[in-house]
Amino acid sequence: MKNLVSMKELSVEQIIAILEQAEAFRTGAASTLISKYTMANLFFEPSTRTKMSFEMAERRLPIDVLPFEAGFSSTLKGETLYDTVKVLEAIGLDALVIRHEQNNYFEELIGNVKPAIINGGDGTGNHPTQSLLDIFTIWQEFGTLEDKIVTIVGDIVHSRVARSNAQALTRLGATVQFVCPPEWQGEFETINSFEEAIETSDVLMMLRVQHERHDGLASFSKEAYNKSYGLTVDRERRMKDGAIIMHPAPFNRDVEIASELVECERSRIFKQMENGVYIRMAVIEMILKGRE
């Protein structure tokens, strides 16, 4: 593995290897990286958890991190992403985490630049480390993904999480199904009954209504969305024993999930974030070792 831009390029064996290394980091293993590396995190879209999670993972390995302020860089002088990356290559950076609003921004980079590219999210495209941490969280819970029913609910067409997860979960043996308002369905096939899915799913993965990507809730009010597609206290009660709630966050309390469920017993929302650090440590280590 020389880069990580989408889940498609990972084999099932590679995914399992990442999960196992993440679990090793979680239980206290130290990195076996030998050389000293320097990375930078190029976030051209706002982020708290993904950026901070990478920053933490990098420091724990440990890897030196150069600060990159997207809002105060030469991008303002019209520099292209390719040229910015070439600059960072010349300066000596070994790997770059990039989040960028343009789908597949990485296509012009892979093969043409020396630093490893780790995709931190491209437009409505991919978000592979989020997908890996979701898989890790389910794997940790059930010991396997085989035959697990994962229902992804909400704004799937704008969600890089839905896309990345759809690819990978199925290959690992899970059944993935989607629930969403018709206008956010896109190329995905959806099921009709959210109410039935609540009772049969092992995992309910609620997606964020992305106010910044479309004008409000389309034809919905927050209340109407919550009523039709939100995880309410009433719906949570009908989930099957041992079933868990996930959300990539940030979440809109009382829109896609009831505020009191965010930290409930079934919720793995903050566990996902904790797992993100171990997954990112594993991914970075594996990529840098693949280049040693």
Binding stretches for a copy of itself (CB under 8 A): 38, 40, 43, 46-49, 52-53, 55-56, 59, 64, 66-80, 83-84, 86-93, 208, 211-212, 249-253, 262-263, 270-274, 276-277
Residue closer to a copy of itself by CB (options 125, 276) is 276
Cβ count near 90 (within 10 Å): 9
Residue closer to a copy of itself by CB (options 168, 257) is 257
Smallest separation (angstroms) from a copy of itself to the CB of 248: 11
Smallest separation (angstroms) from a copy of itself to the CB of 93: 8
User: How is residue 107 written in tokens?
Assistant: 């296509």
Residue closer to a copy of itself by CB (options 53, 124) is 53
Smallest separation (angstroms) from a copy of itself to the CB of 216: 12
Smallest separation (angstroms) from a copy of itself to the CB of 114: 10
Please tell me whether residue 201 adopts helix, strand or coil conformation. coil
DSSP state, 44?
A: S
Smallest separation (angstroms) from a copy of itself to the CB of 187: 25
Residue closer to a copy of itself by CB (options 162, 198) is 162
User: How is residue 185 written in tokens?
Assistant: 């369905």
- Residue 72 corresponds to which amino acid? F
Residue closer to a copy of itself by CB (options 117, 176) is 117
Q: Where are the beta strands (DSSP E) in the chain?
A: 38-43, 64-66, 95-100, 116-122, 149-153, 175-179, 203-206, 244-246
Determine the Cα angle at 99 with ends 203 and 82, to 5°.
145
What is the distance of C-alpha 137 from the center of its chain?
12
